[in-house]
Amino acid sequence: MVTAEQMRATGAAIVGMQEESGALPWFPGGQTDPWDHIESAMALSVTGFHAEAEAAYEWSRRKQRADGSWPIRTVCGKVEDAGTDSNFCAYIAVGVWHHYLITGDDAFLQRMWPVVWSAIDCVLRFQRDDGAFRWGGDHRTGAMFGEALITGNASIFQALDCAIRIAAELDQPDDAWTAAHTKLGDAIRTDTARDSEWEIFTPPSEHSMDWYYPILGGAVRGEAGQKLIARRWNDFVVPGKGVRCVDHRPWVTGAETCELALALDALGDTDDAIRLIASIQHLRDPDGSYWTGLVFADGKRWPVEKSCWTSAAVVLAADAVSRTSVANGIFRDVRQRLTVAP
């Protein structure tokens, strides 16, 4: 599939895209968003670039706003979208726990704890009574958008699990986080069990993320997860080429392919996960980075960019199926249900 040396080169390619501030943009000169920034930092941790990963987390610490959030989009240090995305804000917990698992650095965890606490405190304000999280809001006015998107909510589910683990490690458990995690998991499992009618979340879009993320985030596993995967496998998986980003377009993308591989690995279908990761190696560039996608109808790479987060997704998927780093189970080990202490 890929070698350790190749993954190290991919990590180096990500480092090559990192800004002096520590930000990890989509590509040099492109936008930085809080979620993809953390995913890229996680890949740096896996490939041994710990100082560069910590520079990325330091960027997150410095740029966090007083309410615990981050702007949706920053370009070369300039905020271009000041809005708040609840999922983007929650993901810091996944990255911090992941880096701590790899390094065992207590000082790092202590330093990032206020950042995680403030971020999760912010995110919990977006939870509705039915357990789902509103996707975002206007930072200036505090107004929240009512829609609850399944991909973002599935990712928040994993983030809450990691945040609860961090709190327990520091002997600062928070029952409100556990209760929020439980309510969200119940909501995700209720809606994904339906074949068509969704009542809690906005109905899934044409994007493959809405299909596999409930498994990737950890809320859906076992037989329910297998059924969910089977439901749309033929719509999205192109044998030998990868996974479509959008169901009706002849366009496979490296990130979606590797995220589905992570979901399959979490279900125990590691052989299928390995085949998916292998199928997307046509996107690999000689410098170790990965092109975002391929329009297989005409053989053209599109968009014409080597995105930081695509490279990161490949690293994280390869780490998971090879069981290499001590944090290789960050997606596989998400707990489905937690108990609030009496």
Q: Which of 237, 256, 243 is nearest to 307 (CA)?
A: 256
CA distance from start to end of the chain: 48
Query: What residue spans define the domains of the chain?
Result: 4-322
Q: What sign results for the dihedral spanned by CA atoms 277, 279, 205, 214?
A: negative
Question: Which is nearest to 275 in space by CA: 301, 310, 246, 239?
Answer: 239
Structure confidence at residue 310 (pLDDT): 98
Distance CA 230, CA 285 (A): 32
Low-confidence ranges of the chain (pLDDT < 70): 340-342
Burial of 140 (0-12, 13-18, 19+ CB in 10 A): exposed
pLDDT at 194: 87
Coil, helix or strand at residue 117: helix
Is the domain defined by 4-322 classed in CATH 3.40.50.2300? Answer: no
Using the 8-state DSSP alphabet, how is residue 206 labeled?
A: S
Q: In this predicted structure, what is the pLDDT of residue 195?
A: 75
Residue partners of 310: CB distance under 8 A and separation at least 6:
253, 254, 255, 283, 290, 291, 292
State how beta strands 144-145 and 237-238 pair: unpaired
Q: In which order are the strands placed within the sheet that holds 144-145?
A: 84-85, 136-137, 144-145
Q: What pLDDT score was predicted for residue 340?
A: 60
Helix (H) or strand (E) holding 217: none
DSSP letter for each residue of 149-164? -HHHHHHHHHHHHHHH
What pLDDT is stored for residue 322 in this prediction? 98
